[in-house]
Copies of this chain bind each other. A is one copy, B any other.
Amino acid sequence: MSLDSAPPALDGLTLSDAAVPELQFSQRVQIKSILGRPDKGAGLAGQKVRIGGWVKTGREADKGAFAFLEVNDGSCPGNLQVLVKAHVYKLSDVVSTGSCVHLEGLLKSPPEGSKQSIELDVERVIDVGTVDAAKYPLPKTKLTLEFLRDVVHLRPRTNTISAVARIRNALAYATHTFFQKHGFLYVHTPIITTSDCEGAGEMFQVTTLINDAEKFKLGGGGIPKKADGKIDYTDDFFARQAFLTVSGQLQVETYACALSSVYTFGPTFRAENSHTSRHLSEFWMVEPEIAFADIQDDMNCAEAYVKFLCQWLLDNCYDDMEFMTRYDKTALQRLEMVAKSTFHRITYTEAVAILEEAAKVRKFENKVEWGIDLASEHERYLTEERFKSPVIVYNYPKAIKAFYMKVNDDNKTVAAMDVLVPKVGELIGGSQREENHEVLKERILEMGLPIEPYQWYLDLRSYGTVKHSGFGLGFERMILFATGLDNIRDVIPFPRYPGRADL
């Protein structure tokens, strides 16, 4: 065993001219670094490489003299065609769908008229992970996305879920790249929290009381109680009631009020008993927060960010996006349209007027009038039918929005904004934050919330208060928007919803 720490040189192959990165720490090269080249690997004929992956399809040919395998390693949607001769390895062990192969061989040009740009002629089989075709849960036949939700540990091996994984990865890295490029600092806001952002309830509790109760067989049903019958959290892990966060916004504001341009990107949670295709109990949110920024700056940032994401996918994930058009013919067009468009900006009051006008000639399920929260059908009408482009609606009625939003001079509206896009409706919600201590305190009381838990939040307005704004983008919504898929459970690796938390 070599103790030399220098990364081993690629065996006979330097892919430094490749369009995509290579693995420096092993002798394997990713299939993307072959097929992802502008020439689709054609120029690599004659090179010796080591690759690994799973067999998508395999068939013996020429009366068992050799086998053709289509091998995928997840680095790109394309499969590498691999030729294994019978004297090199037992063909029946490698042709089954789902077999894992680790191979070394020579890249060579395929025969004239072949669909392939390059193929691998195997010289050595390093390792094989066989599969019992009769038992493999993912046969070659087309499987429904619904079926795949019951095998979350194997579904990334399918074309669709692996394409979604690459798109999700690209959007995450694009998010960091965008904010870093603009001088934002990434802040890890807490997952376990003792603040309730929306004052809304519907939070998961985080506790060690139940475990301890089982362990120590405490009396009274196990959970300690106070004299008034309520649960006594003195002995809980944090000595008080603790929850899973519903948003990092309030906490990240403390960093915005010090470092001026910050963002958080992390998991958030809702204990809502929703069984829809649009809700998850655990999902990821991107939440930038900008000091010295008003609602207009906020909209500028949101628009630039969404366009950047769309352009990034076109530049870095075109193959995968092309694949997604099998589910939604307009997926690619939608990205191109948004990347190039100017987002229409209308006030809530203007939006309601437009919808009232529209309601005269078409039917909405929900009645439109000033003061309502726009329903999904309204949002989609505005972006898909009326403007045929993304729309930002701003200045919403105070009564339907959260306490922390900046009250406008009219005292009827707040400086809130929603970005609406085709396919999913609301993609982003944001606002300028109330920076006036007295107004904010009044709003908290008005909402029937207690002051004490928000004292730290009020402090930000006592000591060097600053005009600031921010927004939240539901990361899975963005993936639904990009991929055109319908069910949010298919765009997160491990979906959590009522009754289900597999693995």
Contact = CB atoms under 8 A, between A and B. Distances in A.
A22 interface: yes
Nearest to A294: B26
B204 A187 contact: no
A381 interface: no
A498 B237 contact: yes
Contacts of A463: 98, 129, 131, 135-138, 154
Contact of A221 (B156, B172, B223): B223
B464 A503 contact: no
Given A157-B258, A290-B26, A501-B192, A183 B21 contact: yes
Nearest to A259: B74
Nearest to A99: B464
Interface stretch (A37-45, A297-305, A326-334): A297-305
A466 interface: yes
Copies in the complex: 2
A293 B7 CA distance: 13
A198 interface: no
Contact of A210 (B32, B180, B231, B304): B231
A136 B460 CA distance: 11
Contact of A496 (B8, B98, B190, B257): B190
Contact of A503 (B7, B211, B254): B254
Nearest to A467: B127
A466 B131 contact: no
Interface in A367-411: none
Given A52-B260, A463-B137, A129 B204 contact: no
Interface residues of A, number: 140
A186 B173 contact: yes
Given A207-B210, A208-B204, A222-B231, A194 B503 contact: yes
Nearest to A206: B204
A192 B281 contact: yes
A477 interface: no
Q: Pick from A127, A135, A221 the residue with the most CB of B within 10 Å.
A: A221
A214 interface: yes
Interface in A186-208: 186-195, 204-208
A54 B223 contact: no
A490 interface: no
Q: Pick from A261, A271, A281, A459 the residue with the most CB of B within 10 Å.
A: A261
Nearest to A239: B499
The 3 A-B pairs with the shortest beta carbon distances in the complex, nearest first, are A221-B221, A74-B259, A25-B300
B492 A291 contact: no
Given A136-B463, A223-B223, A464-B131, A25 B301 contact: yes
Given A5-B343, A136-B463, A221-B225, 14 more contacts: A23-B182, A24-B304, A26-B292, A100-B464, A129-B466, A156-B255, A172-B188, A173-B180, A192-B204, A204-B208, A208-B271, A238-B499, A266-B267, A267-B267
A259 B75 CA distance: 6
Contacts of A492: 188
